[in-house]
Structure 1
Amino acid sequence: QCTLSYTDGTVLDTDTTLYGKWTVARGNLSVSKTVTGNAGDTSKAFNFTVTLGNTEINGVFGEMTFVGGVATFVLKHGESKTATGLPSGITYSVTEAEANRDGYTTVASKASGSIIKNDTVTVAFTNTKNSNISEGPDHPNVPSKPSTPTNSPETGDTLNLRLWTSVMGVSLAGLIISLVVVKKNSYRGKRMK
């Protein structure tokens, strides 16, 4: 049963039954993750969903398991997963959850397309997160401060010097007025006697 292949020129008789056998062309889909930036967490796991254009695809295909044409998995920095033996020509889309919500900027390459016969389509996700605070060279856990030229020693007092000068001026004016009033009253008191 189906042990002999038909080649052009094979002699057939009336008792011969021919069977057709078709093979589906296959291809692969690989998803990779890279985390960059001075605030990027390379130990964080990011959630991915691969959705195929055929909801009847079920089962394990390499490193991905599809249910109704959908596979979900997690990747960290430097990791990847590859689905092997997918029908070529089928469409796919790959999405990543929550990366942007966590302050990452995401760039994806080939996040949607079609599976290519006898080839591997590579979908690359790069998440970048930067912080404006840089660490000081002498104290890696303490943010560095931009240096500003100063002519006076730092006291840690960050209040405005003009405010204190104004308060002192108003107090001095009040003291002078008080002295003048007291002196005037004292002078009047002597004249009345």
Structure 2
Amino acid sequence: MKKTKKLLACLIAAATMFTMGSTAFAEEAEKPTTYTDQSKVTIKKQYNLEGQGTSPAENFKFTVAKTGVSDSAITNLEDMPEISVGDIHFDENSESTVSASTDITLPQYNSVGVYTYTITEKPGKTAGVTYDSSPVELKVTVVDDNGDLKRIVSLKKDGTKLSDDVNAFTNIYRAGTLDISKNVDGNLGDKNKYFAFDVTLNGQIDKDTAKSFSVGKTSYGKNPETITTGVKTTFYLKHGETLDIKNLPYGLTYTVEEHDYTTKEGYTTTVNKKDGRTLENQTVKNGTEKAEFINYKNNDKIDTGVNLTTLPYILVFAGVIVIAGAAFITRRRKYED
């Protein structure tokens, strides 16, 4: 009997402790959560340079669309508070990667709810620049925190949440160099002669292309230091030289034509190992574009003044004369002795 009473007392004590613990857990779970109000959000952008050159200055612009509202007294998208995203500007830069950002100041909300916006980069027209077409989702959750409405912000791109150190948008500028080289071959090829080339650069119709590009120096002192887009420009090169035109955006086209040295001077011309003297409407799409010109002039029948077909007989005749002369001298000495 005593054991039964003790067991009952233990059960009552355990039940009391469990009830007290449950009450404590309930009180802890019911403790209100405090929120930090976010009045602004930062949009980060990265601008990459690929290939050879300098990324041009660029002002990147954005549009914002209201795309969702829920759990709010507002039911129409048009009635959602407005937000706007400022431009992100980059100066001309030769670094492979540069970054910049802009802050979005969030409006005040008069109702709790979940407000969703879509931020899209406007495609620009700068030649060689790839624009980021993947939008960013900005979600503002407005909660009631003891009578105060507070904003909680999240950013997503392609379904993945963006952390504070991740770029929301990335752009790439791609540019290359055009190398025009000259080599002269053949026993009559003049390696000190300057050969003339006409070079024309053309931008894309729907793109903004730089007005001029810098040109590397060669031994011909009067070569232009720049070339203007859309203008045929003449340069001179001699054997072993290369003329380089730098920072040409991908998509730009070029034509290189060597002047005619065949009709009057007898040179045979190849460009990039193919017969001809013109490389026409080529598109820049690599780090280095090559236009390799070779001029060949040779004479397999050089007039030496001797008919090579009778040369062996002449040599035999000369040998006979030498032997006869030697025999005559030897016999005369014997006679004199």
Question: Shared topology, TM-score over 0.5?
Answer: yes
- Structure 1 unaligned regions, length at least 5: 8-12, 136-141, 155-193
Q: Please, which of 89, 95, 98 is the counterpart of residue 257 of structure 2?
A: 95
User: Aligned equivalents of 2:305 and 2:290: distance in 1?
Assistant: 39
Cα deviation, residue 14, structure 1: 6.8
Contact kept in structure 2, 1:31 and 1:122, CA below 8 Å: yes
Query: CA distance change for structure 1 residues 73 and 35 in 2, over 3 Å: closer, same or farther?
Result: same
State whether structure 2 residue 44 is matched by structure 1 residue 6: yes
State whether structure 2 residue 285 is matched by structure 1 residue 116: yes
State whether structure 2 residue 161 is matched by structure 1 residue 51: no
Contact kept in structure 1, 2:201 and 2:254, CA below 8 Å: yes
Cα deviation, residue 60, structure 1: 3.6
| AA of the residue aligned to 2:254 | Y
Find the residue that maps to 2:44 and give its secondary structure: coil
Contact kept in structure 2, 1:133 and 1:143, CA below 8 Å: no
Q: What is the correspondence of 1:138-177 to structure 2 with a 5 Å cutoff?
A: 142=304, 145-148=307-310, 150=313
User: Aligned equivalents of 2:306 and 2:213: distance in 1?
Assistant: 51
| AA of the residue aligned to 1:132 | D
Cα-Cα RMSD: 3.4
Find the residue that maps to 1:86 and give its secondary structure: strand
Larger radius of gyration: 2
Q: Please, which of 22, 34, 59 is the counterpart of residue 183 of structure 2?
A: 34
State whether structure 2 residue 298 is matched by structure 1 residue 130: yes
Contact kept in structure 1, 2:203 and 2:251, CA below 8 Å: no
State whether structure 2 residue 246 is matched by structure 1 residue 78: no
State the identity as a percent: 31
Q: Please, which of 249, 262, 269 is the counterpart of residue 106 of structure 1?
A: 269
| AA of the residue aligned to 1:58 | K
Cα deviation, residue 5, structure 1: 5.7
User: Aligned equivalents of 2:307 and 2:184: distance in 1?
Assistant: 27
> Structure 1, residues 57-101: CA drift from partner, whole Å, max 9, x if none?
533423252134333210000001010101211111110002213
Query: CA distance change for structure 1 residues 18 and 47 in 2, over 3 Å: closer, same or farther?
Result: same
Contact kept in structure 2, 1:52 and 1:91, CA below 8 Å: yes
Q: Which moved more, 1:87-96 or 1:36-45?
A: 87-96
Query: CA distance change for structure 1 residues 68 and 89 in 2, over 3 Å: closer, same or farther?
Result: closer
1:66 matched residue in structure 2:
227
Cα deviation, residue 131, structure 1: 1.4
Please, what TM-score do these two structures have when normalized by structure 1?
Answer: 0.59
Structure with higher strand content: 2
State whether structure 2 residue 18 is matched by structure 1 residue 18: no
Find the residue that maps to 2:257 and give its secondary structure: strand
User: Aligned equivalents of 2:196 and 2:86: distance in 1?
Assistant: 49
Please, what TM-score do these two structures have when normalized by structure 2?
Answer: 0.36
> Structure 1, residues 145-164: CA drift from partner, whole Å, max 9, x if none?
4131558979xxxxxxxxxx
Contact kept in structure 2, 1:57 and 1:66, CA below 8 Å: no
Query: CA distance change for structure 1 residues 74 and 19 in 2, over 3 Å: closer, same or farther?
Result: same
2:115 matched residue in structure 1:
none
User: Aligned equivalents of 2:87 and 2:190: distance in 1?
Assistant: 57
- Structure 2 unaligned regions, length at least 5: 1-41, 46-80, 90-123, 130-172, 217-224, 274-278, 319-337
User: Aligned equivalents of 2:270 and 2:182: distance in 1?
Assistant: 10
Find the residue that maps to 1:77 and give its secondary structure: coil
